[in-house]
């Protein structure tokens, strides 16, 4: 796939995320009902509407789609895919239900198991992150409306700058109120190295963005995630020079696996 094609697909993904965000906010601003899926995860009308919008854009590319809200395709079919979209129409549905604004639209393009571009849109605050991994370019733009052109976004976009941390203070992405034992052990290990640790908390894929834009140093994830939770965030981090490393393989996370469940991982420079 050429650089021109990648940029074309990035623009499509940006447009899809903006229009999905618009639909999400229509639901967010009203009272809404919450359903629960077989795995007991919540589902709202916003998830369904956003998924329909995103599919309408991505289907035009003729590249297959793995979405949390689509019927999952058997691996016997998927294993032959060289490329695919990986989508979470509303990442952080629990945050959406709490109405705290920390939910996102995640869209990534994966080629041979690796994310090559990613878009994360935060519709509650109209902030968009996007990246092309092959050109090592990752950006953030603050928008005034969901109804903006890609050309306008490119004018507003500012490159992401991760931290160059030479101090003894380490900002760790995690929950302020409840961290599991593995994460607490990670923090204790840093303290034993003489580091002063500050916990930085965010919902959804914004955890990746915190590291990519220099508002945190490391994101240890010792809890279950699915591929659609991480693909776009990994693309943005990788393009900004941040690694997303599996604790199981000590290699970068890969995608379109037989099991779409990720291993635990670490996000850091």
Q: Which two tokens stand for residue 133?
A: 């991994």
> What is the pLDDT, as a whole number, of residue 167?
84
C-alpha–C-alpha distance, residues 149 and 50, integer Å: 19
Which residues, given as ranges, of the chain have pLDDT below 50? none
Query: What is the reported pLDDT for 43?
Result: 66
Produce one character per residue of 210-236: b if its CB has 16 or more CB atoms within 10 Å, e if not: bbbbbebbbbbbbeebbbbbbbbbbbb
pLDDT digits (tens, 9 = 90+) for 6-58: 789 999 999 999 999 999 999 988 877 777 766 656 667 889 999 999 999 99
CATH class label, 169-268: alpha beta
Q: Report the pLDDT value the prediction gives residue 111, as an integer from 0 to 100.
A: 98
Q: Are 231 and 86 in contact (CB under 8 A)?
A: yes
Cβ(7)–Cβ(132) under 8 Å? yes
- pLDDT of 187: 94
What are the respective helix, strand and coil percentages of the chain, to the nearest 5? 35, 30, 40
Question: Among candidates 232, 207, 206, 254, which has minimal Cα distance to 14?
Answer: 232
In whole angstroms, what is the distance from residue 231 CA to residue 5 CA? 19
55: which residues sit within 8 A by CB, 6+ positions away? 65, 67, 70
Query: What superfamily does domain 3-159 belong to in CATH?
Result: Fructose-1,6-Bisphosphatase, subunit A, domain 1 (3.30.540.10)
Task: List every span in the chain annotated with CATH 3.40.190.80.
Answer: 169-268
Quote the tokens at residue 75: 């691996």
Delimiting residues of CATH 3.30.540.10 domain(s) in the chain: 3-159
């Amino acid at each position: 796939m050429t650089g021109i094609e990648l940029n074309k697909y990035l623009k499509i993904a940006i447009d899809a995320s903006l229009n999905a965000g618009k639909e999400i906010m229509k639901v967010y601003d009203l009272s809404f009902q919450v359903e629960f899926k077989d795995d007991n995860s919540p589902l709202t009308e916003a998830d369904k509407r956003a998924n329909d919008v995103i599919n309408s854009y991505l289907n035009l590319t003729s590249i297959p789609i793995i979405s949390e809200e689509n019927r999952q395709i058997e691996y016997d079919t998927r294993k032959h895919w060289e490329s695919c979209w990986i989508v979470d129409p509303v990442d952080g549905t629990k945050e959406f239900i709490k109405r705290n604004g920390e939910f996102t639209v995640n869209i990534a393009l994966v080629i041979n198991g690796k994310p090559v571009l990613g878009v994360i849109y935060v519709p509650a605050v109209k902030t968009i992150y996007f990246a092309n991994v092959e050109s090592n370019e990752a950006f953030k733009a603050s928008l005034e409306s969901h109804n903006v052109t890609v050309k306008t976004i490119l004018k507003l976009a500012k490159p992401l700058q991760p931290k160059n941390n030479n101090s003894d203070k380490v900002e760790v992405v995690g929950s302020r109120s409840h961290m599991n034992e593995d994460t607490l052990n990670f923090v204790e290990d840093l303290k034993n190295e003489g580091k002063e640790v500050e916990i930085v908390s965010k919902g959804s894929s914004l955890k990746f963005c915190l590291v990519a834009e220099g508002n945190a140093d490391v994101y240890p994830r010792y809890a279950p995630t699915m591929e659609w939770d991480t693909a776009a965030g990994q693309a943005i981090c990788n393009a900004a020079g941040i690694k997303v490393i599996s604790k199981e393989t000590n290699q970068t996370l890969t995608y379109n696996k037989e099991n779409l469940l990720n291993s635990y991982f670490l996000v850091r420079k």
